[in-house]
Amino acid sequence: MSHPYADLPRRAFWRHGTARAVGAELFEPTYPITRATRIATAGSCFAQHIARSLRGAGCKVLDAEPPPRGMGPDLAARHGYGLFSGRYGNIYTARQLRQLLTEIVSGGPEQRFVWQRGALFVDALRPTVEPEGLDSPDEVMLHRDYHLERTSQMLQQADLFIFTLGLTEAWRDRNTGRVFPVCPGVTAGRFDAAAHEFVTFSQAEVLEDLRAIRALLQRFRPGMQMLLTVSPVPLTATAGGAHVLVASQAAKATLRSAAGEFAAGTAGVSYFPSYEIVTTPAFGGPHFEPDLRRVTQGGVDLVMQLFLDAHGLESAAPPESEPQGDTDLQEADDPVCDELLLEAFAK
Amino acid sequence: MTLRVCLFGNSHLAALRQAWTDGRERWPGLDLTMIGAHKGLLLQTEITGGVLRPATDAARDAFARFGGLAEVDLRSFDAIGIVGCQVAAARAAFLHKEARWVGLPSVAACPNLATREPRLISRRAYVAMLKATLSETLGGQFATHLRAGTDRPICLLSQPRTHESILSGKRVEMRALLNSIEIGDGAALSDLFDTTARGLFEAIGVDYLPQPAETVSHHLLTARAYTEGAERLTAAGNAPQPKTDILHANAAYGALALDGLAARLAA
């Protein structure tokens, strides 16, 4: 008897694909990635792991603004260097990335989004890349111009753009619709209910943002491929009214759905299941630290091993001699996550 | 009142020793003991109960030859000095090679920074970088080591700046330093170096003494009058100045450095 399931590959069946064997068949690349592929990365905290692992595996991860020689790795990370392919900080939402790319394409900042931190000033669109701040709003804008120009140069070289979607919730400027990576007032600036509003992006809005992002990336380099992932890291906090766990699951479902739909319907775009690998028991997980939020190094390694194996690249060497249980070292390896700053406000 | 001061240092201690040997009567208020150790030997020491002891054969040898001491009872001194030990303005220039920040003359003169090789960073990021670099120097580490082992006042005397003879441009390894001067950033770098070093050492309870102002040339260099005839401390003892030396200062410099130390301790 013939039916649609009769000729499906083993990977399509839970019994064979998941309950007995997972891994190699989980992800089938739609385009090749080699060590010569010039890769750009952006996204939420989890994207920092991806960039680091790819570099560790010898892949060519572009860097628009490498730190100057003499700046140690810790200091560099504290200033937003080397975390992604640009010094744009964490990009949690598709809207944030879309707006960044639009800003670059349009030739520079149209509006000044500068927040005050004490007597100093920071770029509201990447408020943590200068941990102390700059001396004046004009200096902030000069740094932003520089950042946009360097990012533009980087994107013009990229063969592949890996974007890790993190959140659907954001705070935005009511007048312009510009979304911020963190709520005004948390790391800098001042929250003003008349000027700032909370938004939760729907699946349709995320999908539309992804389409716009794809189109914008093509303007930098026609043919640039896209690879989407969804961060498995839950929300630190939600302002939407629901329990944070419920809000997290809703956000991840929305992002997963949008990414999957977009990748399925767009040539040159693929989806890699980082979220699934970390969160499902099929891979021995969930792979979270005891705080149930940070992904374990083992989880990160597993994600990257599957990704690299799928592309015929050797797995990344394990991160330099991290003895298990060495809390200090593990914490030192934490991604720079400005969303975590919200925890300071948890009662 | 005469202050007993113990001066530790690397090869740059020779300038002060020359000055002291040539005319110690110039500093009637000082009674100096000098202990030199080249390279990182000063760090190969332990301090217990206020007594600093060499912890390796190489350090023991250096202490015996350049100080005539098997150990140093820090409690018997009124103050401790650290001379040179890589706390050098040239480090500020080498970090500047790939970094620029708002406020530098060269940045004000550059219309499009994004197309240039040196990166635009914040001044605070540069200062943090410089602090990290200075704290890793022999002087930075030894100051921390000493501070943990004694409650005596500690002064760190800056290493002399590089010789102004490099202005001839023949030393390719000094291109970064020369370039800093040529593009007009020398004054800013010199100021940032001294300010940063002062802040760094003050934070660990160590007094920082910059290079005597009259010996400085082109902000980041040492004037020829203070470098000609310099000796330096080597593993074999005081060595005469080779023609290629661009780092060490002479007795005239050493005298001014001791003047500064005496004034600071008297204050």
Residues B227-248 have pLDDT tens digits of 998 877 766 666 777 888 899 9
Return the pLDDT at A19: 54
A79 touches chain B (CB under 8 A): yes
A6, part of any domain? no
Domain count, chain A: 1
Q: Which whole number is the average pLDDT over A203-219?
A: 98
- CA dist B101 and B126 (Å) reads 8
- CA dist B130 and B92 (Å) reads 6
Residues B20-58 have pLDDT tens digits of 999 999 999 999 999 988 788 999 999 999 999 999 999
Q: Mean pLDDT over all residues of chain B? A: 92
Distance from CA of B111 to the nearest CA of A (A): 11
Distance from CA of A78 to the nearest CA of B (A): 9
Q: Residue B110: its chain A contacts at CB < 8 A?
A: none
Q: Residue A69: its chain B contacts at CB < 8 A?
A: 95, 97-98
Q: Indicate the DSSP class of residue B31.
A: E
Distance from CA of B258 to the nearest CA of A (A): 32
- Nearest residue in chain A measured CA to CA from B100: A68
Q: By the 8 A CB rule, do A209 and A149 touch? A: no
Single-letter amino acid, residue A15: R
**Angle CA(A134)–CA(A149)–CA(B106) in degrees, nearest 5?**
55
Query: From the candidates A146, A147, A148, A152, which should be mutated to test the interface with B, based on the most B CB atoms within 10 A?
Result: A146
Share of chain B above pLDDT 70, in %: 98
Q: Residue B128: its chain A contacts at CB < 8 A?
A: 75
Q: Residue B97: its chain A contacts at CB < 8 A?
A: 68-69
ipTM confidence score: 0.86
Return the pLDDT at A333: 42
A330, part of any domain? yes
- Interface residue ranges in chain B relative to chain A, Cβ cutoff 8 Å: 94-95, 97-99, 102, 112-115, 118-125, 128-129, 132-133
Return the pLDDT at A344: 43
Return the pLDDT at A341: 45
- List A residues 139-198 in contact with B (Cβ-Cβ < 8 A): 139, 142-143, 145-146, 149-150, 153
- CA dist A205 and A177 (Å) reads 13
Return the pLDDT at A8: 81
Query: From the candidates B96, B119, B196, which should be mutated to test the interface with A, based on the most A CB atoms within 10 A?
Result: B119
A316 confidence band (pLDDT: 50, 70, 90): very low
Spell out where chain B has E strands. 3-9, 30-36, 45-48, 51-54, 72-73, 79-83, 99-100, 119-120, 154-157, 162-163, 207-209, 216-217, 221-222, 232-234, 237-239
- CA dist A254 and A205 (Å) reads 10
Looking at per-residue pLDDT, the higher value among B106 and A4 belongs to B106
Pick the CATH number of B3-266 from 1.25.10, 1.10.3470, 3.40.50, 3.30.70: 3.40.50
Look up the domain containing A206 and give its range: 35-318+325-345
Q: Residue A71: its chain B contacts at CB < 8 A?
A: 99, 121, 125, 129
A332-to-A297, A322, A329, A338 alpha-carbon distances in Å: 12, 11, 5, 15
A233, part of any domain? yes
